[in-house]
Amino acid sequence: MSSRITARFDALKQENRAALVTFVTAGDPSFDASLAILEALPGAGADIIELGMPFTDPMADGPAIQKAALRALAAGQTQIKTLEMVKRFRERDTTTPIVLMGYYNPIYRYGVERFLVDAKAAGVDGLIVVDLPPEHDAELCLPAREAGIDFIRLATPTTDDKRLPKVLENTSGFVYYVSVAGVTGARAPTPADVERAVGRIKEHSQLPVAVGFGIRRAQQAEEIARFSDAVVVGSALVDCIEGAVDTATAVAEISRLTRELAEGVRAARR
């Protein structure tokens, strides 16, 4: 399946550099502010955007992203509004891949078939649904791929060689390697350990490998981008929103940090 995600990784391979994947939560702190942030990210250096679907019980997310989800829900964000946000983004940007990240419950309540139809129409390119193991691929993974939406699976430090082939079986777009055991933003990864893990995944898959969890600074992004295909940053960007006094400040702070991270990624293989 050829996708906007595959096209982006193919282009970056020609540039001999990794991708910067930026995570923000849809609707944080409001629909209009979140859309303004979303639209600013590609210009600041984001190659792929991971957009969180707010949920009240985000088990893989640390305090920063949990608070972002609660801010978004308090502001009235819904699944319908998240897809509307992607649709509005696509009116100005037809090339930057958008990956929705979240949990199965809101998608199940929305209705899987309806969700996939609406997500594809809005311009969604991929899904990361962290609480659906490969044993349940028939629920969402396989229908998503049939709908032309990549399904990106997470591998972790505890995913051993016996489990890894099952995890990779129906994964498409890229593989997301969770660099530390625990929740997002908890602690920094050790580059040497992550490099060994990325090498092990590449022995089993031709897909690009993105590394996330615990990466907050440009220097960390540069270290990880030397051997991975993408670096994912979320909590550090979300913190910019929490600390901002208004939308303009949030956009400016996230853009500043994204530019720093992008420069780190671009410097990794020079």
Given the residues 28, 61, 222, 239, the one annotated as active site = 61
Return the number of other C-beta atoms located less than 10 Å from residue 176's C-beta: 27
23 three-state secondary structure: strand
Pairing of strands 154-155, 209-212: unpaired
Q: For residue 86, how far is the Cα from the chain centroid?
A: 14
DSSP H/E element including 13: helix 4-14
Strand partners, 64: none
Q: Rounded to an integer, what distance in angstroms lies between the CA atom of residue 106 and that of residue 202?
A: 32
Task: Give the DSSP per-residue string, 118-165.
Answer: HHHHHT--EEEETT--GGGTTTTHHHHHHTT-EEPPEE-TT--TTTHH
Q: Would you call 10 a catalytic residue per the annotation?
A: no
Q: Would you call 125 a catalytic residue per the annotation?
A: no
Given the residues 28, 50, 125, 222, the one annotated as active site = 50
The catalytic site residues sit at 50, 61
